[in-house]
Structure 1
Amino acid sequence: MSNISPLVHARTFTPPVLPSAPAPAHGPALETGTRGKRSLEPESPSSWTLPALPTVPAEAVSSADRALQTGLGSQALRQATDRRIHLAANTSIFPLFHAYRRSFNTPELQSWFLSKGMALSTVVVKPDSVTGSVTRDGVTSVQTFTTRDGSGWWEASARLRAAACGLDPDGAGLPYASLTGSTFSRNAVMRWYGVQPPAGDDSVMQAQQALAAADWSAPENKAELGLRVQTARQAIGALDERAHLAGVLTQHLTDKPDEHAVELAGLAVAVSSSSGLTRNEAGKVGISDALQAYGLSLPKTVGELRNAVRWLTTVLPPPAPLGNYSGLLGHTWAPGDLSAADKAALVAVGEGQTDGDSSDSMLVLLNTGGILDRHTPEQLRTQADHFISQLLSDPLVLLLGDSLAFDQRFHGASGTQQLTDAERKQWIIAAIKLNIDPQAAARPGTIAGYDVYQSGNSGRSMGEVRADLEAHLKQNKFLDPRAAPLVAHLLLASAAPEFLVRGIPDTLRIGSPEWADLRLGVMFAERQGGAGVSRAMSYAQVMALSRLDPRTPEEAAILDNYGMDALLDWGLMQGVYTRPADGRYTPRMYQQAKEAFDAQRTQLLQALNHFNVALPTREKRAIENLQPVFPDLSVEQIKALRVYIADPNERRNKKSSEPVTRPLVETYMTGDLVEGRWMLLTPGQALPKSPTRKTPFDFNQGLSKADQDAIDANVRALNAKIVQLPNVQAQLPAEVDTYLANLKQGLSTVTQRMIANLPLADRQALELGKVELFALREQVDEVPTLDQTPDQVEERRGRKGTVIRCEHLGVIRYFEVFPDKLLIIKRDDLPDTLTLGGELQNHTKVYGRWAPTETKLQNGLEEPFDFMAYSSGAVPRSGVKSPRLIIEKIGDTLPAAPSTEQSDTQTVVPNSFSSARTRSIVDRIMSGNFVHHRDTALKLAQGKLPLEQQRELSAHRDQVLLGMIPFVGAIMDLAQGNIVEGTRGLIIDTVGAVLGGAGSTLSPLFKSTKVVAPFGAKAFRVLEKGVSIVSGFLNPLDGTADLLTGAARGIFSLPKLLDKVPKPLLLTTLGSVEEKMRTCLGVSRALNQPPAAASPAGQRATHHGHNYSVPVQAVQIGTYWYATDPTTHLPIGTPLDGFKPLNATAA
């Protein structure tokens, strides 16, 4: 079917919730077959949306349909006003009506209506919206919610829309249906049976005649209606099955690592009443068969099990009614698209209308109905889809669209020049876009000459780049500047759709791995769910898509293809290579980008590992040393052991401050655990005592020989263990040094990352300019400079932050760098020169009674820095000044690079993450102002500092780790100290999440090892699969498969490799794999829509040939050749202007 057909885009249903759809409440019992397992909760009738319906004989159905038809003609159709009619259970429509009313009354949907305050009796459901009366604060108004406005309608209404798609094929709208009633809209029933209801009183007679002439019992009608019923009920059943399967699998998840084996082969599960799978005697299906129906293999490990659940609970919104606003403007021509000549004609129409007067421009349509006059730019920006739909629905605008299509002899999806409104709208959209940008859709990321992915946009926020784009569009003299937000939306929808995702955090930077991750998720959504799908999704939903693990090597190849553009643009922005003169990337550039990405990924993973290791302590080291000596005891049991002074004389003569018994661990930590002094007491063991005196004259009566022998044996046994113990005091300094070195390496990596994410101009300045670094500290009060000790100075040092001053091309820049806060702030409010060293003040100090001496006090000044952020975990506050601060330089000045032409330096794109200059800056920060001083860290490790300070350090480590990974919900167990097997590997593969712009939450199901697959771990591995797949991705064979449509740009030059590539096989295989992915996600057209109608009898002969280089089948209409729709085989699009037939075949 044509890519501009409204049926494809408007009524494709999708499952309800992302990232996880709840399993049906009270799920069906789990059958375990040959193995006995814990029984699950019994199945409840309410678990499934649609119960099985009794089979009705065909004769009974025909009879009920005739009765319904007769009743409509005799009573219900006497006037134009719609009314409710009774539907008998045996009618053809009843199974679909039953599915509709059941779907309408699910708890999830009822909760949604309640949350909106919408009266059910007023509800009208359309393909992509719901309208009804809403009462808020006593005020009632009619409101419409759509699948694209973030209201939650698409998530909540999946089952209802699946039923409505079959029940309302024209999309005219359906009312509410109660769960118990059997009455429904007369007009909806008539439309379903193929009879148009009266539009007014003057058309009642015509409707009655059409009803009387209709043959509802004709076999072809019966087959079509039956297919609608079957498709809708199967779609709803598939939703229930996916949720139920996810619930069943979730019950078998454990805290075991991903590599742990699971055994599920004996399980059996219930399936929906519409399922075609073969059931066993209990009416259930083997888990393997149930999973296979959705393209999933039986999980054999915990990791595979988690991935299967993620796939089953991942869903997509329905496609946008107008897709990505490029229904006629494909990146490469395909049947139904406009040719180059068609585009030129539309541009000429726009130019011909203007004659220098912008009021006559095609672009004046953007103010249809006064949209620009009545709304602010922010409203136009945030509700662009709504306003675009509004202006395109104007009758005069639709008439113009029809005229433009007629002038170009365009045939729509019907195979005629009778167009749908959606097709007319696409012509208006194409005209507007081409009048703004005659090269619209020629290259992703380029809009009217503005390159969204240019190196200069690296490090900037999405909002900043969009503002630049709108300013660029305003330079068009024929465009009303107020329309720039709408036009930007129209053009970004196809050129850079990630800009239109809802809820993108302000901290997300273009050119960062998170940005590449976002682009991968958007491409996944657009390719799997349909053009324009991502506009209905939130940032968290898109990022969840990007982190799905491929299940097969072929799926990994698909994801590689989806991420190829993003990786190549990332490499350009990171300075890995320069933009080629002809704009075409090469395989070598791809390899360079991949290697650079992998290098960053590896270093960031190492950093995460370092942050996941706590500061070593004396107690921890002591326990680790004691464990081999007491191999049969747990850590808690070792902590419970106590030692007792064995010599009674020593006990009598000890100081009162020295205890007789002490914990074993504490005694070992302090170095007091020496041979011959102690005996070991187990928990509950009584202390040895001398016999009780019987008379006052019983003196010096010692222990019995047996007791003394037992003590001596205890002491000898403990001595044997003591000699095996190393000196824990001597071990600790080396371990602290290793910890600090690793921490320094980790913080160095994230600081390099922060510098690499700065805007290009700042990166150029740091790379090429003169750079100085400064530390801050508070003054030492009333102590002359000569008398100040290093400890006094260190105590007042602000080690959490460093100031960078950079001078480049006459511009001075300042940055505050907080490595352990993962924060870098540009300061535009500082003076060109900082005052170093504070100020010196003369001070007289008397040394001894008669020796007054003139000394100097070094006092600080009030400086525009928030010193609390430099000395604690606090976040820096803007506009704060701190008193008594001394600024000191760190290391030598880094000189500017050798002078070059200014024009040359402005075009340099430094590879900041890996450059020697960045390493020099970071090394100075880490060596001269590292966040932890060694002596302080050693005291913490030895436990000599207060418990509160130790707790603060531990909490700070957790904050750094949590800051690097936005999936806070998945690692709270780690932060709370609940470290289970495998937790040290928790999400450390998730480079796409590192330093991300915003947090997201994951269900408790994912609280285990390797929660999600990272962007860099599963994408961008094309070269590992060989050159053939690289070539196949970037040089598709004449559009053989649609795999690459809207994805890779054909930007590689591989002429010598093309002859060696088995591309047809590759593309055919990957195309089928892509469709299997759609089936798993519940968005396959085969699942959600009836098969296309067969070609009508007497169709014209089709001819194979090429339109320029694209193979097509075409039909001749008059003197013109038209391409045929690959699905319906009907003529579609405008006449072919380069068709050369090869041969003719009968249709």
Structure 2
Amino acid sequence: MTAISNSRVSDLHSPQLAKADPTPSPAHLEIATELAGRGGSLQQRGDRKLLEFYTQDLKELSAGNQDYRQATVERIPPHSSFGQSRALLDSILKSPAFQNWAKENDVDLSKEITINLASGTIGFTTMGTKPRNPFDFSPPKPSAGSADIHSFMGWPLLKSAANTLAGSGNVIKFDPATTATRVKVAEIAQFHGHTLPFDSTLSPAEQQAAITQYINKWEHKDDLFPENVETPSQKHLESQASQLGDLNNRSSVIAAITKVADSVVEGLEDHDSKSSLANEKDHAEYNLIIKQRINAILDTPIQIDPASSYFKNRNLKPGVAVTLRDYLVGSGISLPANETELKSIAQSLASPPIETPMHGNLGGALSWPTPMSNADQRALISMTNKFLEGQPERNLLDYLTRGLDLGDDVSNDRSSAIDRILKSPNAEIFARAAEREFGEIASPDVIAEWVLTALYTSMDALGVNTTAPDSSRTKVAGFDLAHVNLSGKNIAEIHKELAHHLLVNKIASVENLELAMEILLSRKAPELLVKEIPDTLVKGTHSWVSFTTAVARLEAEAPGSTNKMTYAQVMMRNELAPITLADKLVEQQAQSDALKDWGVQNGVLDWNSTDSYSEEDMAKVRAAFKDQVDRLNEASNAFAKMPPNLHDMTMAYIKELNPHLSEEQIKQKVLTPKESTFFSFPGPYSLLDVFIHTAQLHKEVDLHTYTSSDKNIDLSTITAPKFEKNFVNSHFEGGLRVYLDGFEQGTQSQVKHLISKLPLEDRKIIEHGKISVSKEVDVTYTPYSQIQEQKDSSTTSVFVQSEVVDARGNKRTHTYEIDSAKNTIRKRPDLDDTRPGPIPDDKRNAKHLVPLVPDGDYKENVLSPWPDNSTHDVPNSFSSEKTQYIADAMVKKINIRGYADELRGTTTFDGEVPFYQKLEDFVLGLIPGYNAITNFIKGNWREGLIDLAFDAFGFILAGAGGAARAAGAGVRTATSTLGSTAKKLLRGAIGALNPIDAQGLLLAGVQEGISYLANRGPEGNNQPRIKINYDPVKIFRNVENATVGSATMQGSMTKIAATQKNGKWYALDPVSKQPYGLPLKDFVPSA
């Protein structure tokens, strides 16, 4: 993918492009340019002019007996800092993106709005247009409303602009009656950090004196900014204006895609390729039509905002449109191949970027685009140890928290606690000491950078100082987060083991344990810091792979963001498919790492200390993972289906043959046989009764043998085919067989999934022990007659006992109960001494374990002990023959097919409960959490579950309205036509991704991908989104003071861009374009 070259600009001005749909005109922003000379820049002259006007207006307004703070002044110099900032906010609120958001949220933009930056909410007056009670015919009544504004696609920009105008406050009010050059006095004061001296109890003379004293403080200065308030730089203001242009471009693209997206498949609903008999030619024809339509859509003209970075970077001409194809390619977005991918682009562009916390992922110099070298890390550990000599604390974290009363911050908001630590006097003392030792680093927060780097390296000294070839990918402070012994454990259990490790090895103190874990995990394992993770999510499952992959995607875009998100928000955000090559590569690499751990924890891969696996090994893992996910997905779909309904099928069949009959007439019981009938039910009957039960008994439907008591049901006009032509019963029986097959296979997969989720110790017990499978029978005797009665204690439980022999030859039995209806597997130590066997006739009421032998052929030794060959031996429990045996036993225990046959032998009528309804009720009782999930999907949240829920197979369900509840995740649909209803989150259920050939990534495409990520990222985020090679010439071609050359990075000479600061060279971040890191020791500019 390449950017639009200057030579092609003229080519883009074609008649077709000239007729492009007019997009909303971008708001005009007057950006001050720096002018050398006596008067200073336009911005400085504007600030000086504003001071003059503001002083005059205050003197005039304060002379009257009124609250001058709310008075409106009109002489706002457009080039002043305030004028430019106010114009930006005005333009954002008038942008198509915000106008659409306001309309969706019923915001009346003709009334005052209040933006609360701390909570991310907006207060407003409603339009009164939202749906109401259909019987309420009163006029719409506007009322006060509030909404979470995080779902606005331009929230980071709006927040930045509002934050500038808010001064030291967190709330700003915007009155549409004002403009960029006509504002309230209080707004000017707030922007400059002033507190106006108004007191209604003062006399006019006293008030005038207070104003005079206030004015005297700055009347002879160059601007209104106090010394402790930083003036917004012109570069910052220009950057914000450019971001608004980019936002307008996104709105234009979304509008263009939304307008035509549905046309991609329009009229193809009945295409031959949709038939079960479709051949390759049909599919090829269908794909060709889709390709042609997509190509036509990609020629759609898009108007580009002149203020946008896209426009500037390509030196485009004002008023000249570009094609949608050129915009996507130039932005690093992969071209869509079908309707789904096209809509994914619109949905992704409509979603706001994720916000990066102030200190990113707390990695400091370890999170630089090129991390601090290992040699420098070791030197920093040494320097830290020397610094602590003579201090009472044993580690740096304890030293930094000395004298700090963090209170509830640690448990309630660890990020705030860490921020307080970084602002402490001890943090500055340490940072200055490090700076004296190593030199000045380029960073907007030097103290935080040094302290965070030292904190991590000092706690992970073992990883920094190791010279072994072993991988450190999964290790933190010497603790292996991917160890096989953590398989089957949830977040709380993993936290507990890590905490124990840190305390035992004296890496952290009890007092600062939570903070230490936050610092260590934020960069190395951020998934362990996500909030509200379900207890049922455990390591070693496909759900864990999906989760960690989703977290990695978000962390690549915004480092440190996921520890402020909930599990539901992470997984909902992950539903946005990657649309750039860079994002696709991040996802593929993240899943590849997760699959390594999954493969080891599931016995597919032999553990390798170097974390190096051949492509053949990874291909085997991907195949095994895909097979497991496919099987579980099929089982999930089987459990989600309803059994075929003979009643509904017969009703539809009768109506098809007799369209003149209503459903009520077909069900009406008005038919009486002229002679005695073979039916046991005395009648009268309905047409439905007769059709169903004559077919079941293989009889003909002969309506001449009945009379109708309803004159409106004339039997002579009703068509009843011959038995051999009545396909309903055969279709029902065929559908029932398919359903029962799917349900039994689903039950097998459920049992396999439950066993494979167990902790490794339990999986080994089952796999390596001598096992038996049984059911529990409740035996009772009737009084007096002492007749024995037997009843299964549970219709859905089987018991697995495993006898294991330890190294000393001691035997021990472990018992597990698997309940498919509850979707649980639990230890039953109370049954360890009970042995399965025949039921004795001992006249005692008791429970007995009775052997349960499944149908099928198995190896003779399937129940025998299997050897445990090594320390890291991990059974492949999901695919084990022992697990299959247990799963088959569960199928036999439930015996759904036998129950169906038993019910089929009964003849019931419409007035009774038919057998297929009884079967349906029985089946639904077997599905774990069916009623709760049904309520959940329908949106009955109080009766159901939470926003997201797991089904029995670890797949995530999103209920009706779930997308709205996940707004905090930043997931937005471009319009209602691109939305979706309750569903399974399929991106969390995908199998193994095909590896992306890194060599196949065209360099130009990667460069634009970096630009795309930079433009979507929040202001000031200088963390790398993806570690890839890039062309510094292309990336920095329009960056002032950037010099391309070579320097040693991570031990090898690398082509980079650098800039000078205080006579030293510093590398430039390819995303933020800002300098970072320590001075380059050997940078050589290119000739």
* 1:609/1:430 CA distance change after superposition, 3 Å: closer
Residue matched to 2:86: 97
Provide the C-alpha distance between the structure 1 equivalents of 2:760 and 2:538, rounded to a whole number of angstroms.
11
Compute the displacement of 1:452 (Å): 0.5
Deviation at 1:747, TM superposition (A): 0.6
Equivalent pair of 2:601/2:874 in contact (CA under 8 Å): yes
After TM superposition, give the deviation of residue 355 of structure 1 in Å. 5.8
State the shift of 1:398 in Å.
1.9
Greater radius of gyration (CA): 1
Secondary structure of the residue aligned to 1:925 is helix
One-letter amino acid of the counterpart of residue 96, structure 1: S
SS at match of 2:777: strand
Does structure 1 residue 397 correspond to structure 2 residue 434? no
Structure 2 CA distance for partners of 1:227 and 1:286, relative to 1, 3 Å: same
Unaligned runs of 5+ in 1: 1-32, 37-42, 133-150, 193-200, 215-219, 690-710, 842-856, 862-884, 976-989, 1033-1061
Aligned to 1:14: none
Structure 1 match to 2:795:
799
State the alpha-carbon separation in 2 of the partners of residues 766 and 652 from structure 1: 58
* Deviation of the 1:831 alpha carbon: 4.6
Once the two structures are TM-superposed, the CA of residue 574 in structure 1 deviates from its matched residue by 1.1
Local SS of the residue matching 1:369: coil
Are 1:888 and 2:850 matched, yes or no?
A: yes
Q: Which moved more, 1:445-454 or 1:434-443?
A: 434-443
CA–CA distance in structure 2, aligned partners of residues 558 and 965 of structure 1: 39
Pick the aligned partner of 2:355 from 318, 342, 354: 318
Secondary structure of the equivalent of 2:512?
Answer: helix
Q: What is residue 365 of structure 2 aligned with on the other side?
A: 328
Judge which range, 505-514 or 804-813, deviates more: 804-813
1:778, CA displacement in angstroms? 3.3
8 Å contact kept, 1:64–1:90: yes
Residue aligned with 1:510, SS: coil
> Does 2:157 align with 1:162?
yes
Deviation at 1:572, TM superposition (A): 1.3
Say if 1:359 and 1:651 are closer, same or farther in 2 by CA, change over 3 A.
closer
Say which SS state the counterpart of residue 372 (structure 2) adopts.
coil
Question: So what's the TM-score if we normalise by structure 2?
Answer: 0.68
1:721-774 deviations in whole A, cap 9, x for unaligned? 34534794x987776555433321111012111111111111111110122222
| Unpaired stretches in structure 2, ≥5 consecutive residues | 1-17, 34-40, 60-67, 124-145, 176-182, 195-212, 275-285, 855-859, 942-948, 965-975, 1026-1034
> What pairs with 1:402-421 in structure 2 (closer than 5 Å)?
402-413=432-443, 420-421=446-447
| Mapped contact 1:554–1:1073 kept (Cα < 8 A) | yes
Give yes or no for contact 1:69–1:211 (8 Å, CA) kept in 2: yes
What do the CA deviations read for 1:272-331 (whole angstroms, capped 9, x no partner)? 99789999xx9999999998998779989664565345424444431111111113114x
Q: Tell me if 1:995 matches 2:954.
A: yes
Instruction: Return the alpha-carbon distance in structure 2 between the equivalents of residues 240 and 610 of structure 1.
Output: 41
Alignment of 1:1100-1139 (within 5 A): 1108-1113=1051-1056, 1122-1126=1065-1069, 1132-1135=1076-1079, 1139=1082
Indicate the residue corresponding to 1:463 in structure 2.
Answer: 492
Residue number among 1063, 1069, 1080 corresponding to 2:1005 in the alignment: 1069
Task: Tell me the amino acid that sits aligned with residue 380 of structure 1.
Answer: V
Give the structure 1 partner of residue 993 of structure 2. 1020
In the other structure, the counterpart of 2:623 is 595
1:779 partner SS: strand
- Which whole-Å CA distance do the structure 2 matches of 1:758 and 1:666 have between them? 47
Q: CA deviation at 1:1111?
A: 0.6
- Match 1:910 to one of 875, 879, 886: 875
Check conservation: 1:992, 1:1015, Cα contact below 8 A: no
The residue aligned with 1:665 is 691
Q: Is the 8 A contact 2:545 2:595 kept in 1?
A: yes
Cα distance in 1 between the residues matched to 2:122 and 2:864: 64
Residue 814 of structure 1: SS of its match in structure 2?
strand
Cα 1:354–1:130 change in 2 (3 A) is: farther
Q: Secondary structure at the match of 1:771?
A: strand
Contact 2:781 2:787 in 1 (8 A): no
- Shift of the 1082–654 alpha-carbon distance from structure 1 to 2, 3 Å rule, reads closer
Deviation at 1:408, TM superposition (A): 0.6
Q: 2 CA distance for matches of 1:635 and 1:746?
A: 40
How far residue 412 of structure 1 moved from its aligned partner, in angstroms, is: 1.4
Maintained 8 Å contact 2:113/2:122: no
CA contact (8 A) 2:47 2:222 kept: no
| Aligned amino acid, residue 1008 of structure 2 | S
**Corresponding residue number in structure 1 for 2:380:** 346
Matched, 1:231 2:231: no
C-alpha distance in 1 between matches for 2:675 and 2:236: 100
Quote the residue 1:183 is aligned against: 185
Q: How many residues are paired up? A: 921
Q: Kindly indicate whether the alpha-carbon contact (under 8 Å) linking 1:839 and 1:860 is maintained by their aligned counterparts in 2.
A: no
How many Å apart are 1:646 and its aligned residue? 12
Q: Distance in 1 between matches of 2:336 and 2:899?
A: 49
Q: State the SS of the aligned residue for 2:172.
A: coil
Match of residue 639 from structure 2: 611
Distance 1:793 1:763, change over 3 A: same
Is 2:461–2:477's contact at 8 Å kept on the other side of the alignment?
Answer: no
1:561 aligns with 2:561: no
CA separation of 1:271 and 1:166: change in aligned 2, threshold 3 A: same
**Deviation at residue 97 of structure 1 after TM alignment:** 1.4
- 1:1100 & 1:677 partners in 2: Cα distance? 94
Deviation for aligned residue 1:486: 1.1
Mapped to 2, the partners of 1:202 and 1:353 lie a distance apart of 48
State the alpha-carbon separation in 2 of the partners of residues 283 and 917 from structure 1: 69
- How does 1:476-625 map onto structure 2 within 5 Å? 476-477=505-506, 479-528=508-557, 530-550=558-578, 556-616=584-644, 618-619=646-647
Taking the TM superposition and a 5 Å limit, the aligned residue runs for 1:37-436 are: 52=27, 66-71=48-53, 88-92=75-79, 93=81, 94-100=83-89, 155=150, 159=154, 161-163=156-158, 165=160, 173-174=168-169, 176-180=171-175, 181-183=183-185, 209=221, 211=223, 224=235, 227-228=238-239, 230-231=241-242, 233-234=244-245, 237=248, 303-304=340-341, 306-308=343-345, 310-330=347-367, 335=370, 337-353=371-387, 359-371=393-405, 374=407, 380-413=410-443, 420-430=446-456, 432-434=458-460
Identify the residue that residue 815 of structure 1 maps to in structure 2. 816
Change (3 A) 1:83 1:784: same
The 1:430/1:740 distance shift into structure 2, 3 A limit, reads closer
Deviations 1:478-511 (A, max 9, x none): 6322222111111111111111112111111111
Tell me what 1:771 maps to.
771
- C-alpha contact 2:837 2:850 (8 A) present in aligned 1: yes
Provide the residue aligned with 1:983 in structure 2.
Answer: none
The verdict on how the C-alpha distance between 1:327 and 1:840 changes in structure 2, with shifts beyond 3 A counting, is same
Instruction: Out of 264-273 and 492-501, give the one that drifted further.
Output: 264-273
Distance 1:400 1:73, change over 3 A: farther
Query: How do 1:435-474 and structure 2 match up within 5 A?
Result: 438=464, 443-474=472-503
Kindly provide the amino acid, as one letter, of the partner of residue 492 in structure 2.
Answer: G
Q: 1:725 to 1:289 in 2, by over 3 A?
A: same
Give the superposition deviation at 1:817. Answer: 1.0
Please tell me whether the aligned partners of residues 55 and 219 of structure 2 are also in contact (alpha carbons under 8 angstroms).
no
3-state SS of the aligned residue for 1:535?
helix
- C-alpha distance in 2 between matches for 1:679 and 1:462: 70
Task: Give the deviation of 1:567 after TM superposition.
Answer: 1.6
Change (3 A) 1:544 1:894: farther
Shift of 1:542: 1.2
Deviation at 1:1114? 8.4
| Displacement after TM superposition at 1:517 (Å) | 0.8
Structure 1 residue 204: Cα displacement: 9.3
| Distance in 1 of aligned mates of 2:957 and 2:1016 | 28
Asked if the contact 2:549/2:591 (under 8 Å) is kept, the reply is yes
In percent, how many aligned pairs have the same letter?
16
**TM-superposition CA deviations, 1:41-91 (whole Å, max 9, x none):** xx9xxxx9x9946989999999865521434688989xxxx9999573442
**1:521 and 1:544 in contact (8 A); partners too:** no
CA contact (8 A) 1:836 1:889 kept: yes
Q: CA deviation digits over 1:976-1034, x for unaligned, max 9? A: xxxxxxxxxxxxxx999942478663469655698654345375211xx6xxx1xx3xx
